[in-house]
Amino acid sequence: MILLVGPPGSGKSTFCNQAVLNNISLRPIIYVTTESGPSKVVKSLMEMGFGEALPHPLVFVDAFHETVGLPSMVRPDLVDASCQDLTSLSIAITKLQEGIGENSLLVFDSLTSPYMFNGSEILRFVRLTLLRLAAEGNAVLACVDEGCGKEEDLVSMMSAADGIVKIELMDGSKTFNVMKHPELTPTKIEVPMTWSPGISYRMDMEIWTQHIEMTTGLSSGPPLRTEVGDYVNLFWGNFARWSSILWDPKRLPTMIYNLNKRNESNIKEFIRLLPWHVRLYLKLFIPKNFSKVKDMKKFMSFLFVGGEADRHSIGEYLEDASKTDEHYFREGEDMMCWGFDNVGASLHLGILGTIAGAFRGFERDRGGPDRDWNLVETKCVGLGDPYCLVKAVPGEIDGLKESLESLDHTIIERIHGRLMDNLMGFVLHGKPLWERPRLGGEVSLHMFSHIIAHDAAIASERYRMAMRLGGAMGGKEVGELLLDAGMGEDEAVRRVLNLLEHCKVGKVALDETIRIVQNCESFGMRSEEPSCFFTSGFLNGFFSAVKNQHVKETRCIAMGDPYCEWEFR
């Protein structure tokens, strides 16, 4: 058994695919997928030169689709399982192993997802399933992400393996460090980096511009979400955000920050769709260059009015502390930090990339300089400060990398614990969710989209996967906690659907299917496939825990359907 260890996104799946190409001529292969479907593996193999006529069988355990509530393929070389249920994984592997015989290769990509759902129980699974398979004359290659769980659990998995290959990333290069192997001496192999493309998933700028106009008072009219209004409970956005970050705490904040900076590419389209009097105001009163204190103050005053109307935060530009090309502003009741005081980390993380993108986009659109702005928190409620303090400069900024990579397992557990305590207090005892003194407990759809990082979902397959699996894990935990509290199945379902309605996720109905009208996650989005990544995962995790049922999304408003709908399986 060889364990492949590395940070998320470091190329472990590519390594697994290469192992398939190198071994298919020698022996049968069982491929377990937990973070994507078998079709993606086959597509990657074909792109790497995989032929259609195989000398030995290649069969799959699909432990992804059932986990997150997606429809899986029906084919004779595939068995379904779930990351939530280690027994189902063992049974699926054994079933395929009996069909193809000994001297096979099991590729397990990856152990991270079943570990996140089952904790240290994964160690028993490794011993009783993977090591047993290896002891019977087969080979096992298993991946696990570094930094997504307790260090002692990773050490235990590494101790159990016969060999360890660790992927190390540094300065744009990637090295495979063979730390332990039954037949090789320790060595290091450097390879080039690779990247994956996004999907056809985009924001409808006309809808979002109209929504921003109405929530900020630039124009009047009825809400776009006629059933539930254009605001979402602050808790739901943060629950989705932090459940997703669990899957990649070191890399996702940096990725979200950089992707949100691309917001500047939408500024020109956004301005074009604004009412004529707003465009005239921008032309006459917003400066072309934000270097000087008086000019940045004018622009930030414009942003703060909109931010408070959107219920983002209460902002104040600090004129006395700022100087040319170095600006400071303070935020109170911030949507990213409320409820997480003194957890041990800066919490704005990716959202500041959106403001950096806005600075660049507005300067460029007004005919000013084309500059790469950056922002970093120098104080944060999450660090125990009474307010959040943000520094903004054009060009590089000190402390940004350290801030974006400041999360560790202890901090994530602390944040997750507060979220679950708050959720269970509401569901079990009717206690209120977070309520800010001045801005209240809701944020606009526009701000909700920034909390869950729509820009990252558009661009990153990794983030979409994290949202699906984070939702599934969160739903499973909620279901199990309600059952442990002595609540009946039907009552648990009723109360969770009430939670969704209270949070204004959408208008929820349950009969033979689950329907959510005007679901906040996909409202204003356009896609060729169902795009309620977190919602689907949450519903599937919850119903699998409470009623042993799985759901799949069959309709989605992002695809042009009148509502989002999930069927039971």
Q: DSSP string spanning 390-437?
A: EEEEES--TTHHHHHT---HHHHHHHHHHHHHHHHHHHHH------BT
Q: For the CA atoms of the chain, what is the radius of gyration?
A: 25
Point out which residues pair with 62 in neighbouring strands: 33, 80
pTM, to two decimals:
0.84
258-274, pLDDT tens digit by residue? Answer: 888 876 666 777 777 77
Topology of domain 204-429, per CATH? H-NOX domain (3.90.1520)
The overall longest dimension of the chain from CA atoms, in Å, is 77
Q: What pLDDT does residue 9 have?
A: 75
Q: What pLDDT does residue 139 have?
A: 95
Which residues in the chain come in under a pLDDT of 50? 194-198
Half-sphere exposure of 345 (CA within 13 A, CB side): 22
Q: What pLDDT does residue 359 have?
A: 92
**Residue-range domain boundaries for the chain:** 2-191, 204-429, 468-568
Instruction: Identify the three-state secondary structure at position 29.
Output: strand
Measured distance CA(523)–CA(225) in Å, rounded: 9
Superfamily of domain 468-568: Trafficking protein particle complex subunit 3 (3.30.1380.20)
DSSP state at residue 199: -
Task: Tally Cβ neighbours within 10 Å of residue 426.
Answer: 20
Q: What pLDDT does residue 265 have?
A: 62
Q: What pLDDT does residue 217 have?
A: 73
The values of phi and psi at residue 149, to 5°, are -165, -165
**What sign results for the dihedral spanned by CA atoms 241, 442, 455, 46?**
positive
Residue owning tokens 């400041």 = 406
Q: What pLDDT does residue 195 have?
A: 44
DSSP state at residue 72: P
Q: What pLDDT does residue 83 have?
A: 94
Please name the helix (run of DSSP H) or strand (run of DSSP E) that holds residue 459, with its range, or none.
helix 454-459
Residue type present at position 453: A
Cα angle for residues 499, 503, 509 (degrees, 5° grid): 60
**CATH class of this structure's domain 2-191:** alpha beta
